[in-house]
Amino acid sequence: MNKKFISIAVISFALLSLGNLGADTENVDVSVTVNNKAPEVDNNTAGPLNIDPEVQYTINTSVRDNNKLQDVNTIVVKLYYNADAAGDGRNYYTWTWTNPNPGTNPAVADFTNAANWSESVAGSFISCTNVTITPNDKEVTLDLNWQVQGIARPTATDYWHYHIEATDSANPTVSSAAGDASVNKFLSFAVQSNTINFGNVDPGVAVTPTNDNVISIVSNGEVDISVTGADLTTGSFTIPVGQFYVEDDGSVQTFLTIAAQIIYDDYRDVNEGGVPDAGILGYSNGTSRTLIFGGTIPDPQEAGTYTGTWVIDVTNVCTPAN
């Protein structure tokens, strides 16, 4: 009797213990650290670029980040002459997009909003357009529209370079894509007036000198300013061109002929040194040059209103050099 009871008690205890093990639970703490990955940049613009100053150009780029675009702090496009070193409109341009809400995936409007872009040279940023963001917010593709100033240094070969850089918000990591470019010669100018009127003058009397200044000269190289004269006529009567002169701002007078005569030779407002017509000497940025026209009416001379056309020519004569 006793042995049988003991056996049953042991078996019952074993079954009870197995039932309690099947109902147990344990909490397991799980962790994983997702690494911060540096952004990547693609330059989608075929090159090298051939740049005319004061003309709009576009660079297309793609920026991606394995931590999504919320992790991108800035996108910077740099265009510079020779070396990536701070400069001005002559040799260095940057256009920078700054994420307005770091930690939040930017929308298309965040890229097209001009307030989120800054420029190192005033007036060189035009717009950001054609923005496409992938559905998973990993990559953005965009067009940066820009232009360089008229004083940008001209080059014989692709001696300008550009970098597209994206900076990670968590680490000072910069990913970059590069390209090359050249800049062509540039010149713009105006004259103070397209009309010279010496008024009423007696034969044998000098006319009152009249200014017709060359104004707003913008050139990325040295310039020659020349004047071509012509006889003044009324009907069959003529006042010879040699009766008139043009004077520069140094009071040097040059009598006009029917051939072009250089009044300002290799002029530049900012001098960078070098040999005339053998390289880059300098540039002008909105400067003016004085042209004073005068002369004397012959005696005798038939009465009448004499007219003619004189030509003021400004030429960028630099030889682009690296």
More confident position, 274 or 251: 251
**For residue 8, what are the CA distances in angstroms to 1, 11, 16, 20?**
11, 5, 12, 19
22 burial class (0-12, 13-18, 19+ CB within 10 angstroms)? exposed
Provide mean pLDDT across the span 72-93. 94
Q: What is the DSSP string of 197-213?
A: ------TT-BPPPEE--
- Specify the pTM: 0.85
Question: Is residue 20 very low, low, confident or very high in pLDDT (cuts 50, 70, 90)?
Answer: low
CA-CA-CA-CA dihedral for 270, 273, 274, 279, to nearest 10: -30
Look at residue 199 in the predicted model and tell me its pLDDT: 97
Question: Is residue 40 very low, low, confident or very high in pLDDT (cuts 50, 70, 90)?
Answer: very high
Q: In terms of residue numbers, what domain contains 79? A: 40-183
pLDDT for 225 beyond 60? yes
Domain boundary pick from 125, 156, 183: 183
Q: pLDDT digit string (tens) for 116-161?
A: 999 999 999 999 999 999 999 999 999 999 999 999 999 989 999 9
- List the beta bridge partners of residue 190: 215
Collapsing DSSP states into helix, strand and coil, what is residue 242? helix
**For residue 258, what are the CA distances in angstroms to 95, 214, 240?**
49, 20, 10
Taking every pair of Cα atoms in the chain, the longest distance, rounded to a whole number of angstroms, is 165
Q: Same domain for 105 and 205?
A: no
Q: Same domain for 177 and 109?
A: yes
The domain that holds 143 is classified in CATH as 2.60.40.10
Domain boundary pick from 148, 183, 218: 183
